[in-house]
Each structure stands twice: as structure tokens, then as C-alpha cells.
Amino acid sequence: MAIQETGVSYYGISHVEHARRDFQEMIDHNCTAVLLALSEFDIDFWRRSIVEVVEAGKEMGLTVYLDTWGIGKWFGGEPPSLFLTNNPGNRQVSALSGEPIPAACFNSPAFREYFFELCERLARDVQADGFFWDEPHYALPKGYASITGGAGDDWSCRCPYCRRDFEQRYGYEMPRQLTMEVKRFRQDRALDILECAAGKIRAIRPKTKIICCVHATLGTYYVTENRGYDDWDKVARSDACDVFSTTILSYQLPRSFFKSITERTVETARRHGVGSQRWMMGYYQEPENLDEVSDIAQLYADLGVESLFAWTYRGGHGTVLAAPRALELWDAVGKAYGKVLGR
């Protein structure tokens, strides 16, 4: 199946007239979809504009997704978390040191309530086509280092809520070591909150498409990264996933890695009858030869990816994470999209 959707993420949700101009630029760059990166602050402060910006995008023919960007620092992304600012507790806790980590524990009742309320408000007020779960993960206590995150000894979360829930299920105290039971428990809890949120969103807006985007982890016999979403089959078959998506890869990685991650993504999606999505890096880094962007997009298309996205609009121009030739990279993404769409 050919590529059916090409999109880009977008930070500009403040003024609808500006968004309209940018959406036209996206359409001119062969985008058929846009993903609004919504921080907790944006969702709270710009809530009226978000409604209008989404309406404008849809009017102009784009498919519009809402990205729960950086929320609780449980989802990936740079923005700070209002929840963490307003709650001294309810944090993930390091298993080895017992210290709190600057990430919300998504098993804590306070965070779950907060997240569900936020999803329900967006589902109620905003006419978007879908939600995007952006790299959800347990916090990795410092000390982890490898190509994509890596293996280490410490892990989270061993907070009072997680310990209580673990003991209720298994009948003994949660170990400090990452045993099979702990791994399974972490994975189950990690999916539970997404499944509950998906259920609440669909109860309000039944046709919502939910994209679950997990880290493009190695997941091999020797190395798994234990972010809680590393068992791709478990993620893809869950109720929290209509489209199975895997994240951006650095251009410095070998192309064989791009191929194997993409093959595994598409195979996993097909096995569970859901859509497939791959991401390209359209910020921060760029290949030496910008034509390679098109080669990678074509590789993804040839391997059967259905939805292709790049982070972010205009190569991150103006941000601290701008690609060195941000605007040229953006043009290269647009050209690559036109090619895979057969334009």
C-alpha cells in the first residue's frame, strides 16, 4: 500500500490567522496532515485558539491530530509540565536511590485524573481527527547511555502507588531489581492509562483515530530499553492504538537501522490490523546531502509505511533545535513528500 498521509508537527497554536498562512505553506510542501504539539501550558492558556486553529486546518483540507506533547514529562518533548510545577508529590521514584525524578508517575491517582480530564476536554471542545501519544515512557534515571537510550541498572517507578499496586497483584513487596514480574507490571500499567484515556476520548468522539508512537528501540535479544512500551506487539494490539508509530532516527545511524526499524514497525502494525506510521527528523540534524531525505522517505514508502511524518514545520527554524539549514531541510521534506505521493 502506498503512502496515504504526509504530515508535519507544528508549534504555532496562538493566532488562527498566522496558522492559516503556515497551513498553506504546509500544503505547498505536500503535507496532507498536521500534528499540533500541545504542551500543558498551551492546552490551558490557548484553549480558545486551539479550537479555531484546528477548525482552520480542517477547512483547508488537512487532517489534524492533537499531540499530548511532554505532558507530565511522561510523553516526550521539551516543554515543562504544569502538573509537576503544581504538585510536589506524585513523581516517579528511582528504584535504586529512592529519590523522586522530575516526571509524573502516571499510576498516581492525581496524575491519572489530571490527564483524563485534559483528554476529555480536548475531545469535547476540539474537532480534531485524532490524538497522538508522543513517545510515552517511564523516566530513565540518569546514567543511561547508548545509541537510543540504552541499558542501565536503575529504573523507575518505585513510588508508593506503584509499590502498593505491585504488592496487591503479586502478594510481595516490589523488588528493587527489574525482574520479569516488575517488567510485566510496568508494561501493563503503562498501557492501562493510555487505554483508559482512549476509552474516554472515544466515548465523546467515537471516530477519533489514536496514534501510539513509541521509541524506535532496538528491542533485541541482548538489549531492551525498558521504557514500558518496548513490547511492540503489546502496544499495537492494545485499545490505545489505531495506528502504530515509531519515532525519529538520527541521520548519523546506519541506513540498515532505518530499514530494520521500519520493517519491524510495518510488520507489527499488520500483525495487529492497525495502521503504520514512521517519522523523519526534520529538525536538529540533517543529512550532509539533503537529497537523502527523499531516499529515506522512498525507503519507508517501499517498505509499506502508510503515514509519514516529520518533526517539525520549517526544520525547527528559530528554535534551539533548528537544523543547521532548517529552511532548506524543510524544502527537502516537502520535495520528498511530493515524490512519495506521486505528485
Binding site for Zn ion (CB under 5 A): 105, 107, 157, 159, 161-162
Query: Nearest approach, Cβ of 212 to Zn ion (angstroms)?
Result: 21
Nearer to Zn ion, 160 or 324 (CB): 160
In this structure, the dihedral spanned by the alpha carbons of residues 306, 294, 331 and 328, taken in order and rounded to 10 degrees, is: 140
Tell me whether residue 182 or residue 248 sits nearer to Zn ion (CB atom). 182
Give least dist CB 282 to Zn ion, A: 34
Q: Would the CA dihedral through 248, 251, 257, 259 be positive or negative?
A: positive
For Zn ion, which is the closer residue by CB, 16 or 104?
104
Q: Which of 112, 123, 155, 101 is nearest to 50 (CA)?
A: 123
Provide the minimum distance between the beta carbon of 91 and Zn ion in the complex, in angstroms, as a whole number: 8
Q: List the one residue out of 88, 82, 74 whose CA is nearest residue 140.
A: 74
User: With respect to Zn ion, which residue has the nearer C-beta, 105 or 281?
Assistant: 105
CB of 140 to Zn ion, least distance (A): 14
Q: How many Å apart are CA 198 and CA 101, to the nearest integer?
A: 26
**Least Cβ distance, residue 107 to Zn ion (angstroms):** 5
- Is the CB of 182 or the CB of 216 nearer to Zn ion? 182
Q: CB of residue 234 vs Zn ion: minimum separation in angstroms?
A: 19
By C-beta, is 16 or 140 nearer to Zn ion? 140
Q: What number of other Cβ atoms are within 10 A of residue 87's Cβ?
A: 16
Closer to Zn ion by Cβ: residue 189 or 314: 189
CB of 105: closest distance to Zn ion in angstroms? 3
